[in-house]
């Protein structure tokens, strides 16, 4: 039997009547109910009616309204007589709502929640879909592995912090954090500058480069042989420039040249998409480091810095609507693209700001994430071939997050293309985003739990709550139109927000960031965030001087 | 005749209305049961935090929208936190790592696009790009045997002439002449 995870639920105390019932009768009633339970294809539990007749109240013979089954004498009662039944029969207090498979106390007049009863209901779910049990077991095994990985990552970073040497640069002009430095616009390259500013201040990514993660000596030899630029060396050069203490704006020209060689399709003098640049840069880093490290295979166990920091795993469940069979696949991702939630109708766009506030129908990041993880019925052209039914059936698809990355990058789809109208436009709607984000409702375990009626049961397979709390550290915003606009990034260092507008670094207050039109939002796990804020003086100024101590890999 | 019909109609109407209310009640209790379970098991603990964040967000938007309240200048001619001012187009000068010419930072991307022969505007400069590529390849290759010495010396001479400040047009013409011979 799987262990219960107490941190997920507030375990309710059973009322005295339920306690007395379990003390006297044990699980006999639960086992009897288990045989009568029926699970619908979409996962709803109910109690089968005997003899397929319309149930009638044993006392008033009525056949309307809600019906409850007494767990002791198995008699049916309507709601009124459910409340009267315990008075006539002492001890007959616990009932089951036959429509919803929920416990009910006739004396307390309230619904009851018992982990043991929910186990019974969940075991019925598992029996219905045999392959689900196998999936749960393998998920459990992966859970052990992932916990080790997660703790390994944390341990690795903790060890690294001990190696750092605290050195203050005398050239520093002011008390501002050492990583802040403007980036010159080389000609419509604000999209690149805004993403680079985010990466320069992403705690795990920054720590890697500042601690000499990329071996320059080994790379130099290969570079002369290949006559090819090394993107990682140029990223390293940007980190050296930003953290050197020099505050005059830096021109990332060598990086642009290097990136244009790696991503030839994007090598043109145009205003480009910041998100596209972000993805292509991580792909280039992954590609380069994968060649360097011979042992890596596949994305799941990739040791390159791009995947160590940004790698997450999405889970996709496709459920047959006829029999309830669920097919599960996993997709790696370095960010999550979210559609803006469409709670606000288009006619309301013309309203003034004050009226919008009064409406309360604001788009929120939670709404976008809810939309992302909502079950979606697949179209008739996408019918799933159900292995259980052996034919194509209507199906529901639902996304969830199987593994969260160290740095969570959320991309808001603001650039909309309509195939019908053959036109593109930008969605300028305001989106509210929180500074602290709890991602546990969107983990696979939470989505599964909600699908099966929020029963008290360990759905397993996910990291603990400790790794689902995130804190914001950067926002990339876009202003203007689809054809001509400007990207600006906001970076949060030691709880102070800075606006990075190409060469201009200015201080802004929280309100400015909250009111901005976010395009990409970057969150870091709270463990990383707290560590980054606690050791401001430990950020080295000259990464080259620091000794790099080898640390054992994940094991 | 009319009396029985009227009774039937009324009876049917009442019956369908009754069934509808029964279904509606069932749906309402379904939702209530779900919400009750979520609330009792403590699965909705984020609601208060979310509301708090929404308030902060609404206040922020009001404050930023208020013109009298915004002290921040949105123009590019502001002084940054380091006390520096910057021109609208970055004026730092550095050498292009593709062709070695001195370029102003703010114009590096359009230059590099042509220089690397990529993007939309590259078609017009095919001749120059291929010529530059061939020249670079010649210079980059290792020193050939004795049979190639005269060509290498000649290439060096042409390089010196370019460095002396010959105009771009003349330089290109000379390169073409070199290729022809």
Please report the pLDDT score of residue A196 as a whole number: 94
For A348-402, how does the pLDDT look when each residue is reduced to its tens digit (9 = 90+)?
Answer: 344 333 344 444 457 889 889 999 999 998 887 878 788 888 888 889 999 999 9
Listed by number, the residues of chain B in 86-105 with a beta carbon closer than 8 Å to a beta carbon of chain A are 86, 89-90, 92, 94, 96-98, 105
Residue B11 predicted with pLDDT over 70: yes
Domains along chain A with CATH numbers: 14-127 (3.30.40.10), 192-289 (no CATH), 310-341+362-531 (3.90.70.10)
pLDDT in tens, A176-187: 888 899 999 988
The C-alpha atoms of residue A14 and residue A33 are separated, in whole angstroms, by 19
Sign of CA dihedral A245, A251, A254, A255: positive
Residue B35 sits at the chain A interface (C-beta within 8 Å)? no
In DSSP notation, B18-58 reads HHHHHHHHHHHHHHHHHHHHHHHTT--TTHHHHHHHHHHHH
pLDDT band at A407 (very low <50, low <70, confident <90, very high): very high
CA distance B95 to chain A (A): 9
Residue A160 has pLDDT above 60, yes or no: no
- Comparing CB atoms, the residue among A249, A260, A510 nearest residue B118 is A260
Chain A segment 483-502 residues within 8 A of B by beta carbon are: 498, 501-502
| A115 reaches B (C-beta below 8 A) | no
Across the interface, whether the CB atoms of B81 and A182 are under 8 A apart is answered no
- What is the set of active-site residues of A? 190, 486
pLDDT band at A424 (very low <50, low <70, confident <90, very high): confident
Q: Residues of CATH 3.30.160 domain(s) within chain B? A: 87-120
In this structure, are residues A303 and A311 in contact, taking their beta carbons and an 8 Å threshold? no
A203 neighbors A473 (Cβ within 8 angstroms): yes
Q: What confidence tens digit (pLDDT) does each residue in B114-160 have?
A: 888 765 544 444 443 333 333 333 333 333 333 333 333 333 333 33
- Residues 6 or more apart in contact with residue A258 via CB below 8 angstroms: A229, A230, A231, A233, A234
Put simply, the answer to whether B38 touches A454 (Cβ < 8 Å) is yes
Mean pLDDT of A438-450: 88
Q: Which of residues 333-362 of A touch B (CB under 8 A)?
A: 353-354, 357, 362
**A230, A355, A499, A514, best to mutate vs chain B, most B CBs in 10 Å:** A514
Q: Which residues of A touch B81 (CB under 8 A)?
A: 174, 176, 180, 498, 505-507
Angle between the N-to-C axes of helices A526-534 and A203-210, in degrees from 0 to 180, rounded to the nearest 10: 50
Which among A252, A197, A488 is positioned nearest to B108, based on CA atoms?
Answer: A252
Provide the pLDDT confidence category of residue B177 given band limits of 50, 70 and 90: very low
Q: For the domain covering B87-120, report its CATH number.
A: 3.30.160
| Mean pLDDT confidence for A272-298 | 76
**Is B76 in CB contact (< 8 Å) with chain A?**
yes
Strands B102-104 and A102-105: unpaired
Interface check A54 vs B, CB under 8 A: no
């Amino acid at each position: 039997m799987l262990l219960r995870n107490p941190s997920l639920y507030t375990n309710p105390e059973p009322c005295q009547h339920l306690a007395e019932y379990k003390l006297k009768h044990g699980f006999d009633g639960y086992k009897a109910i288990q045989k009568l339970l029926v699970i619908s294809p979409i996962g709803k539990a109910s109690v089968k009616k005997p003899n397929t007749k319309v149930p009638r109240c044993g006392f008033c013979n009525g056949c309307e309204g809600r019906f409850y089954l007494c767990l002791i004498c198995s008699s049916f009662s309507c709601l009124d007589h459910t409340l009267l039944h315990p008075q006539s029969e002492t001890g007959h207090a616990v009932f089951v709502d036959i429509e919803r498979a929920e416990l009910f106390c006739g004396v307390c007049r309230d619904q009851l929640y018992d982990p043991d009863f929910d186990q019974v209901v969940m075991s019925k779910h598992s029996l219905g879909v045999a392959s689900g049990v196998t999936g749960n077991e393998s998920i459990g095994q992966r859970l052990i592995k992932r916990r080790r990985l997660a703790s390994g990552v944390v341990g690795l970073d903790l060890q690294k912090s001990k190696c750092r040497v605290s050195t203050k640069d005398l050239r520093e002009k002011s008390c501002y954090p050492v990583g802040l430095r403007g980036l010159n616009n080389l000609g419509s390259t604000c999209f690149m500058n805004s993403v680079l500013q985010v990466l320069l201040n992403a705690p795990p990514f920054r720590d890697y480069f500042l601690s000499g993660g990329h071996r320059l000596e080994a790379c130099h030899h290969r570079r002369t042989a290949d006559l090819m630029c090394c993107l990682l060396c140029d990223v390293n050069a940007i980190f050296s420039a930003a953290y050197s203490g020099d505050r005059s704006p830096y021109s990332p020209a060598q990086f642009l040249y290097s990136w244009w060689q790696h991503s030839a399709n994007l090598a043109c003098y145009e205003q480009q998409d910041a998100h596209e640049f972000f993805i292509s840069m991580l792909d280039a880093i992954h590609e380069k480091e994968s060649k360097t490290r011979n042992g890596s295979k596949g994305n799941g166990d990739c040791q390159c810095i791009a995947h160590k920091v940004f790698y997450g795993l999405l889970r996709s469940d496709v459920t047959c609507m006829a029999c309830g069979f669920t097919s599960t696949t996993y997709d790696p991702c370095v960010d999550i693209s979210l559609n803006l939630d469409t709670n606000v109708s288009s006619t309301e766009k013309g309203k003034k700001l004050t009226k919008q506030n009064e409406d309360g129908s604001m788009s929120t990041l939670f709404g976008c994430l809810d939309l992302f993880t909502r079950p979606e019925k697949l179209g008739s052209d996408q019918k799933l071939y159900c292995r259980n039914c052996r034919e194509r059936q209507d199906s529901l698809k639902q996304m969830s997050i199987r593994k969260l990355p160290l740095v969570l990058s959320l991309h808001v789809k603001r650039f909309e293309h309509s195939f019908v109208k053959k036109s593109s436009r930008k969605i300028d709607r305001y989106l509210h985003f929180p500074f602290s984000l709890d991602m546990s409702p969107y983990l696979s375990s939470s989505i599964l739990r909600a699908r099966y009626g929020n029963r008290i049961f360990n759905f397993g397979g996910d990291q603990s709550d400790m790794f689902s709390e995130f804190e914001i550290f950067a926002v990339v915003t876009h202003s203007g139109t689809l054809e001509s606009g400007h990207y600006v990034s906001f970076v949060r260092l030691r709880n102070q927000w800075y606006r990075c507008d190409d060469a201009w670094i200015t201080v802004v207050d929280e309100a400015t960031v909250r009111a901005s039109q976010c395009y990409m939002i970057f969150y870091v796990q709270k463990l990383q965030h707290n560590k980054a804020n606690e050791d401001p003086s430990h950020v080295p100024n000259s990464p080259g001087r620091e000794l790099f101590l080898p640390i054992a890999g994940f094991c | 005749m009319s009396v029985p019909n009227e009774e039937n109609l009324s009876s049917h109407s009442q019956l369908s209305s009754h069934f509808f209310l029964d279904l509606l009640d069932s749906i309402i209790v379904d939702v209530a049961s779900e919400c009750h379970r979520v609330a009792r098991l403590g699965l909705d603990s984020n609601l208060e935090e979310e509301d708090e964040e929404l308030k902060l967000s609404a206040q922020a938007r009001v404050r930023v929208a208020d013109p009298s309240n915004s002290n921040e200048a949105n123009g590019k001619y502001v002084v940054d936190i380091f006390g520096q001012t910057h021109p609208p187009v970055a004026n730092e000068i550095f050498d292009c790592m593709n062709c070695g010419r001195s370029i102003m930072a703010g114009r590096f991307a359009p230059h590099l696009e042509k220089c690397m022969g990529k993007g939309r505007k590259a078609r017009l400069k095919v001749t120059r790009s291929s010529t530059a590529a061939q020249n670079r390849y010649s210079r980059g290759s290792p020193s050939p045997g004795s049979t190639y010495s005269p060509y290498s010396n000649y290439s060096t001479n042409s390089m010196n002439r370019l460095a002396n400040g010959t105009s771009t047009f003349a330089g290109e013409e000379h390169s073409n002449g070199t290729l022809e011979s």
